[in-house]
Structure 1
Amino acid sequence: MFSATGSPERPGHHKPITAADKRSIVKINGRELAVEIEGDGPAVLFVHGLGGTSNFYQVQAEALTSSHTVIRVDSAGAGRSALAQDISIESHAEDLAAVLDQAGVASAAVVGHSMGTLVVRAFAARHPDMVTSLTLLGAVAVPGEQARQAQRDRAALLRREGTAAVAPGVVANALSAATRADKPEVAAFVRELIMRQDPEGYARNCEALAAATDPGPIDPALPLLLITGEADKVGPPQVSHDLANAHGDTVVEVIAGIGHWTVLEAAAKVTEHLTKFL
């Protein structure tokens, strides 16, 4: 499905890759995953969070495709990817490794949001040679028992009543008050992301988050960027500060006035920080 181009590898760069179609459904680890690859240059792999899809990163993808190979994946059970059995943080991480393998990409700068920050941390721990840097957006901690039960309860609600039952709560709790008031189009997009999810796939991903374990420390030698919202209640800034302190060689970019849907609420600022880091 994917192949490397015949151009020689440039120093400090990875071989650019192409896809027959910009949006393809590919077989990865026995799962049907939506994978989108655009651009040319060193690879950047984007990983969305719970309730998200690869479209979460549209602004950043458009900004980077002139200089990078941008790889976006809808995680198993989310977005355009098919429902799958045995969804977990670890299975998502192994899917990422298989995507890069099948695309002919040796390593990539990896960007994760929300639950995706646990996935990319697990990916980096399991496949350190495949990750050149980590960017964590709205980083979340491994949930405590109360948060685990909340995710299990959400999964049950999704199965009973569908995505319409959870979308209002996501919009109200994960976006800042300023975003809801000043950027209603962002609230509308978040609602659409949630409403378009397969209820069972969303439920299984909620259960994956409920079962999450600590991916372990981030290698201090791995370049790390942390961006979070000042009003983020899902991944409070303290989580990012704790990760930064443990890593020892990074700073946390805290963006005022935004909540948890970082790249939607502050698209320009996040893109500026990310492009500078890359």
Structure 2
Amino acid sequence: MPFLPLGYKKIHYTDYPPSASQHSQRPRETFIFIHGLGSTQNYYHAIATQLQAQNFRCITFDTTGAGRSPYTQIEQSIESLSEDVMALMDALPVSPDVEKAIVVGHSMGGIIAAHLAATRSDRIVAAILIGPVYPSSKLIPVFEKRIPLVEKEGMDAMANTIPSAATAEGTSPLIKGFIRELLLAQDPAGYCSNCRVIINAKKPDYGKIAIPVLIVAGDEDKSAPVEDCERIYDEIGTGDKRMKTMRNVGHWHCVEKPEEVGKLILDFIQEIQ
């Protein structure tokens, strides 16, 4: 299994090079994907393979304490998880090194991606925020309640509720089963630690973002509702920004309607290139 040591952390990642027929060419761009709370890099698999077929390089990874990246017992923050993204770009063994990239973040990963867009425009050339969480005091009690529940009952407490509560009406049992598996792949202690990341998250400096941005919202998303996405959109400083709202989609956009998300990303890249 491909792991990268990043200081005291061990990060599991997958590198999707351009499709075999185009492998001799340089990638058009490189994407770095950051998943959300209770998820893993596999949330993006369908999106990464779509982009891979269009000669993009895609890198997915499990954030520390999630999926196959072991929990370290050391508390994290939006800032430390952002530093992991930059360290990952520097440490990837596959040539060429990732000098610059487009960052994609879902949910909590959307906070990280926005922070990177605001602070690292020297290496982040565009940002795609999918159902980005807007840090605010109203989120604190939501995630504070989850911690003792998971500490007592394990990840079953989340796996038995979130797949139905956080998806659109009419979502198929197959998709709910996949989300359930993503949740059950979490170390409970790592999940609780990442709940605290959201509880303690400060709002990114959206006004300082000067690179192209795409926000993808779901019209049935209760975790990152359309009005919160619109608020982020309004606060983002760049004039090169767009927001798309997907119909009949909850908070798990990339598994609820992967083909549509992939098309939105490809259209965005075509517009800014």
The 1:242/1:206 distance shift into structure 2, 3 A limit, reads same
The match for 2:9 is 31
1:123 Cα offset (Å):
2.0
3-state SS in 1 of match to 2:227 = helix
The reply on whether 1:70 has 2:61 as its aligned counterpart is: no
RMSD value, Cα: 1.4
> Unaligned 5+ residue runs, structure 2?
19-26
Give the one of 230, 250, 255 matched to 1:264.
255
The match for 2:156 is 164
> Unaligned 5+ residue runs, structure 1?
1-22
Quick one: distance in 2 between partners of 1:262 and 1:243?
A: 18
The reply on whether 1:122 has 2:110 as its aligned counterpart is: no
CA distances 1:133-165 after superposition (whole Å, capped 9, x unpaired): 000001111031x42122122122111110001
The 1:153/1:273 distance shift into structure 2, 3 A limit, reads same
The match for 1:185 is 174
Quick one: distance in 2 between partners of 1:231 and 1:149?
A: 21
1:220 Cα offset (Å):
5.0
Percent same amino acid at aligned positions? 31
**Aligned residues between the structures:** 252
CA distances 1:116-146 after superposition (whole Å, capped 9, x unpaired): 00011122233221101000001111031x4
Quick one: distance in 2 between partners of 1:39 and 1:49?
A: 23
The match for 2:135 is 142
222-231 vs 240-249, greater mean Cα deviation: 240-249
Does the 8 A contact of 2:117 with 2:209 survive in 1? no
3-state SS in 2 of match to 1:133 = strand
Quick one: distance in 2 between partners of 1:57 and 1:218?
A: 28
Does the 8 A contact of 2:117 with 2:211 survive in 1? no
1:211 Cα offset (Å):
0.7
1:218 Cα offset (Å):
4.9
93-102 vs 218-227, greater mean Cα deviation: 218-227
3-state SS in 1 of match to 2:202 = coil
Quick one: distance in 1 between partners of 2:185 and 2:136?
A: 25
TM-score w.r.t. the length of structure 1 is 0.87
AA of the residue aligned to 1:36: T
The match for 1:131 is 124
Does the 8 A contact of 2:121 with 2:210 survive in 1? no
1:50 Cα offset (Å):
0.4
1:30 Cα offset (Å):
1.8
